[in-house]
Each structure stands twice: as structure tokens, then as C-alpha cells.
Amino acid sequence: MFSNIITETRGEDTMVRYYCTAGNGMQSFLVEEVKKKLAARDVHQIPGKVLFSSSATIQRVCDLKAAERLFLLLKQDSPVGMSTHTSPAKTASVLRSRLLGDRRQWLSAVMTWSRLQRELAASRSAVTTSNTHGVREKGRGSERQSDEGKKCHQESRKRSHSFTAEESDEKRQRGREQIRRHALELEKDDDVKESEEVCANYSKKDLEQNVESCSKNMKNMDDLGEDAPLESVENVSFRINCKCSGSLSRCAGAQEVSKVMGAGLSKLLGWKADLKNPKLEISVFLSDDYCLLGIPLTRLPLANRSYIKSTGLRSTIAWAMASLAQIQPGFRVVDPMCGVGTILIEAANEHKAACFLGVDIDDGQLQKADENIAFAELQGRVHLLKASSKALPLPSASVDAVVCDLPFGRKFSTRVNMADNLPLILSEMERVLCVGGTLVVLLSPQLSCLLKKLLSHTHSGPKGNKEDESQTGIKNCLVSSSEQQISQIQSSSSQEALTISSLRHQTTLRVSLGAIDGLIHKYIKTPD
Amino acid sequence: MKLLTHNMLTSHVKGVTKGYPLLIKATEVKVNEVEFNPKFVCRMIPKLEWSTLVQAADQLGHREELPGELVPDYEKNGDFLKKVHRVLLEVEVIEGCLQCPESGREFPISKGIPNMLLNEDEA
């Protein structure tokens, strides 16, 4: 598909074409979100990305919850065809002709980018001046989230340094501590990656350090005019960030492409390459199916929320789970293993007339959740409770939705295997739900197998759909020594009086959590 | 612990049949300012056990002018909604305990968070 549309004027509106990267499994959520929130047109999916046009304000676009990063589209085209036999000179020539295009295109794109940056900056300063709350806590920075001030995302995004990426299996415990990497290092990453996984993890100490360096950085940024839109389209400093995948990467490495493009752009527009602190960053994605060029619109991914201090589950996934629960005004929503409260916060920000209760057994987690809730200014609607998910102090049929990310790690706080506890945890979730209520859970592929076995085993009604699901579930299972354990548990649990008979399966989705995958399952409670 | 939460909680000690509502014994109560969201309050009212709310507010000495029964047409009564908002979300028990009405078991509230974990023999 050949589409060079950067800006289109339709009457009063100005349509801008964007693309967002999305984690595996998140694309359909993103597609739905852009259509619903931004009245997006010409929505097009390619692996790991969603392209769309919208005339919504840039603030609204930056408010997308299912996206990783946001780019202004420069060019989208059919793949750059090359073979390994092509000489370097010929390769360079092909790249130049396919990727550079004409001068006007570039200038026009940069003008649009500049305008969008101006709009973002304007909304940011509007928040600063109208903000009467001041700085509540050390380390929170000057931007606070208020109902009308959602536009303040950009400020904290631009300021923060710390980044985390990639959860490995061992690290995925209840605490979900994450590895931190420097933001700029990630930008220079040339590895083949279709989806990007980044989360922010702030400890109180980090936040304090951040503020100090932030205020310094803020000054620098203003001096360098990084926040400021481009004065002119001459003398722009830029950097190419290239990612190549598929057979193409064997013909031309990312570095080579960057060099060719860099030299070509300099020649075409008189711009200067600056690897350290460019005004403009050009992203180039080359794969076997397409070539895509764009300019990132924010320094940090949209997935880094300005309103969450310490994340557990990735915000995009948390938001997606909440959206699956179809929360209505007046709903009471419970997360029986809330950890630091990521799901609750994402859900509460999206659904403003519902209330949320987070339950956890661990003081440390509850403390962080408390801080997160205060930071996001959601104390009115999000509350906490210390209790066990195996014994919820809630009356039966009193909750409209249960949304939960079950810890995957082998260790559970009572030092018992999660698989052993799953039947009872599920039973409690089912008990507290009203008829018609939704259950949305995130599990590892292994636990998902167990879940399906548990529910298909106890369900006495017509199997039909369910049977297919459990079969696919079993196919998806990782074959490991723990399977033996699972079948052992199953035989023992069949002797228990399991009351999980009224949950009807709706859907199962596979999502990427970084190094591992998770499965989101949705159930609805039916009358017995 | 806010009274909105208290309204949902029940004692689940083994053998207890009537564990609701829990009695509040507060040693530290705070009243914070919380942004008033009339739509939210409106939507929550039908879900509440009204008498429990009034009783709880009373126990804390913060009942003020909250009526014993729901006023008709409360959706349009801004004054009433504000009163409910205050009692539901602004009054907060920071320290104290919740007591099971049947067994007498006390669940502590610390730093605003109630601890309803049961011991092995109570589960």
C-alpha cells in the first residue's frame, strides 16, 4: 500500500496521519481505541503497528492507552527490494531513491511536527498556570493530573530518565521488580524488535533524584530549544534510528541504512546529523513487507504514564484488561491481588463513575499502591484492603467486575504453589461476582491450562464452545515437568466441592509481557 | 478506610452467619477534601446499604445532617449529594478497628487500610 499522506485538509479539520507501535496482542485494542476516541480514519494494521489518520488534538492522541510509541508518519511504502547480491553502492542508491523522496515532503512533515509540538507545549503551559495544587510531594514534579489537565503527560514524559524493559520469568514475582535502562540507550538500540516494551519504575529515591536532575534538564531543554518548535526548517539537527528485520537485514544492516539516509538527508535538506542531542529524530522501519518512516512525537512512549509512580503490570495491558471488563458507571470493581494497583489506576482513569477496591496480602505492595493512588489523585474512587484472595471479606454477589493479574511466579506469599491455590482463588472471585458480572484474569500459559481444566471439569452445562477452548488451551500449554503436577492437582481438586460452575468463558487473548507471554481470559457469571 | 469501603465489607470468620455490618471503633479519624463528582455519587447511592452508611457515620460522630432514609429525587438534589459525598469519601478512619458483630473478632485498621486477614483457625 502506497501512502504518502502526511497532512490533508478536510474543511475545517486538519487530518494528520500517525502510527503507533503496539505490543503483541494489543493491536486490536489499539485499533478499537483510535476509532472510538479519535474518530480515526484509514486505520491500517501491520505487524506491531497501527496506522491511522485523525483530526483530533494532539493531546487526545497522546492520551491513547493501548499504544507504546507514537509517531508522525513520514512515509509508508512497499518493501525496499534488494538481494544479497547487490553491491554496497547499488544498495545505497536503492535506499536513497526509495526512502528519501522529495524535499517538499520532508519540509511539510517537519512543519506538521513542529505545529504539533507547539500545541503540546501550549497545553502544558496552560496546565502549569491554571494549576493551584502545587507540589504535594517531593519528586512529583510540577504537573499534576486533573480532569481537565490530562495534557500534562508530555511534561513528565520528557523529564524522566529511568526506564525499564523486559521482564524475565524469574523476575516476575509478586513484587515485579523491573530492570532499569537509560532512556537514551534504548533509542540507540538497533536490535530487531517489532514490539517495544518499556515501563517506568520509580522508587521514591529515584523520583527525588529525578526532580533535581529534571529541573536542571528542564533548563537545558529550554536552552537547546528541544521543547520549542523549530524556528525554521533550515539547520535542523537530526538523528536516524533504524530497525531492519527479515531478509532485508541480511542485505543492509541498520547502521548502513542509517548512514545512507543520514548522508542523503544532509544533502537533500542541508540538515546536520547529530547523534547526541538532535532536534529531530527520524525512525526508519524496514521489513520484508513494508518500509515505514516517521518522527516520534514524544520522547518517551505513551505507555509510560505520568500518573503512575511505580508500575507492576505494564500499563497498556492493565488498561486492556479493564476495557475487557466493560465497566459501567456505578460499578464496583475488585482486584483481589492488586499489587501496586496498576490495573485499578488504569481502570479508574478510564471509568470515572465507578469505584474500585484493591485487595492484597502484602504490606509493601499496599504501601506502594497507596502512594500510586495518591499520586494519581484517585483517593476518591480507589480504595485498599488487606486481605487474602482466598478469603475475601465481601458478601456474595456484591461486585460487578473482578479484574486480576495473577502472579506467575512459583512463590506465593504463603510459600504455597500458585497452582494449588488457583481453585480457591477462582471460587472466591466467582462467589463475590453478581450474576452478569465479568471476570478478567491474566495468567501464565501454564496456569491458563489449569484454569481451563478446572472450569471445564466442573461445568455441568453444555460443553460445546468450552470443549474447543480447552483443547486449544491444552495445545498451547508448555510441555514441562509441571504438567505432571497439574494433573495431580486436578485429581485431588475433583474431590473438593468446587463451586466454579457458573462462569462462562467469553474470550482468551494472548499478549506479550516482554520476555514472556500471558493469556487474558474473560468470563461472565451466569445464573446457576 | 472510607465509609464507601466499609459499606462493602463483611466479617468472614468461620461459622459466622451475620457478619455485616462491621462495627467501627475509630481512634483516629480524618476529614480530607476530595473532589466532588456528583455523577459518581449518584451512581453509587443505589448500590449502598443506606442504613449501614448512616449508622457508620453516626459511630464516627460525622453523621451531621444525613437523613435516616434516602430522599426521593436525590439525583437532582445537589445539597444532598454533597452530604453523601462527604460521608462516603471525605471522612476517613486512619486508625482503629472493625468488629465482627457476631464473633466480636476485631480487625485492625492501620494507616487507613483495614486488615481483614484471618488466622488459620478462623478461615
User: For A295-304, what is each residue's pLDDT tens digit?
Assistant: 999 989 999 9
B34 and A388 within 8 Å at the Cβ level: the answer is: no
Give the three cell numbers for residue A44: 491500517
Element (H, E) at B58: helix B50-59
Q: How far is CA A425 from the centre of its chain?
A: 27
B89 and A380 within 8 Å at the Cβ level: the answer is: yes
pLDDT band at A127 (very low <50, low <70, confident <90, very high): low
At residue A167, the pLDDT reads: 35
pLDDT band at A252 (very low <50, low <70, confident <90, very high): confident
Query: Which of B10, B22, B40, B119 is the best substitution to test chain A (most A C-beta atoms within 10 A)?
Result: B40
| Cα atoms found within 13 Å of the Cα of residue A3, Cβ hemisphere only | 20
Q: How far apart are the first and last CA of chain A?
A: 51
Element (H, E) at B106: strand B106-110
pTM: 0.77
Query: With 90 as the cut, is the pLDDT of residue A50 above it?
Result: yes
Q: Tell me which residue in B34, B43, B117 faces A388 most closely, judged by beta carbons.
A: B117
At residue A460, the pLDDT reads: 45
The residue ranges of DSSP E strands in A70-179, in sequence order, are 70-77, 162-164
A332 touches chain B (CB under 8 A): yes
Q: How far is CA B60 from the centre of its chain?
A: 10
Which of A87-96, A338-347, A444-453 holds the top average pLDDT?
Answer: A338-347
At residue A139, the pLDDT reads: 35
Query: With 50 as the cut, is the pLDDT of residue A455 above it?
Result: yes
Query: With 60 as the cut, is the pLDDT of residue A10 above it?
Result: no
A395 and B37 within 8 Å at the Cβ level: the answer is: no
- What is the DSSP pairing of strand B106-110 with strand B113-114? antiparallel
- Contact present, B93 and A384 (Cβ < 8 Å): no
Phi, psi of A55, deg, nearest 5? -105, 15
Q: Which residues of A touch B115 (CB under 8 A)?
A: 386-387
Mean pLDDT score of chain A: 75
Of the candidates B122, B119, B99, B121, the one whose C-alpha atom is nearest the C-alpha of residue B109 is B99
Alpha-helical runs (H) found in A351-464:
363-375, 418-432, 445-458
B113 and A361 within 8 Å at the Cβ level: the answer is: no
Cell 505490543: give the residue.
A23
The residue among A430 and A414 whose pLDDT is bigger is A430
Question: DSSP code of A61?
Answer: H
Of the candidates A496, A44, A26, the one whose C-alpha atom is nearest the C-alpha of residue A302 is A26
- Contact present, A112 and A104 (Cβ < 8 Å): no
A355 and B115 within 8 Å at the Cβ level: the answer is: no
B116 and A330 within 8 Å at the Cβ level: the answer is: no
Q: How far is A384 from chain B (nearest CA, A)?
A: 6
| Amino acid of residue B19 | G
Query: With 90 as the cut, is the pLDDT of residue A376 above it?
Result: yes
B114 and A386 within 8 Å at the Cβ level: the answer is: yes
The Cα A246–Cα A192 span in angstroms is: 9
- In this predicted structure, which of A10-24, A185-199, A507-521 has the lowest mean pLDDT? A185-199
A380 and B47 within 8 Å at the Cβ level: the answer is: no
Q: pLDDT per residue over A151-205, tens digit each?
A: 334 333 433 333 333 333 333 433 333 333 333 333 333 333 333 333 333 333 4
Which residues in chain B land under pLDDT 70?
A: none
Question: DSSP code of A151?
Answer: G
| Cα atoms found within 13 Å of the Cα of residue A393, Cβ hemisphere only | 33
Q: How far is B118 from chain A (nearest CA, A)?
A: 8
Contacts of the segment A363-366: beta carbons below 8 A, 24+ positions apart: A364/A175, A365/A174, A365/A175, A365/A338, A365/A339, A365/A340, A366/B113
B9 and A393 within 8 Å at the Cβ level: the answer is: yes
At residue A484, the pLDDT reads: 43
At residue A233, the pLDDT reads: 64
Q: Tell me which residue in A330, A386, A393 faces B43 most closely, judged by beta carbons.
A: A330
| Amino acid of residue B114 | P
Q: Which residues of A touch B111 (CB under 8 A)?
A: 370
The Cα A4–Cα A102 span in angstroms is: 11
Cis before B21 (ω within 30): yes
Interface of chain B toward chain A, CB-CB under 8 angstroms: 1-2, 4-5, 8-12, 20, 32, 34-35, 37, 39-40, 43-44, 46-47, 89, 107, 111-118, 123
B1 and A386 within 8 Å at the Cβ level: the answer is: no
Q: Which residues of B touch A392 (CB under 8 A)?
A: 12
At residue A230, the pLDDT reads: 60
Give the three cell numbers for residue A189: 538500540
At residue A287, the pLDDT reads: 87
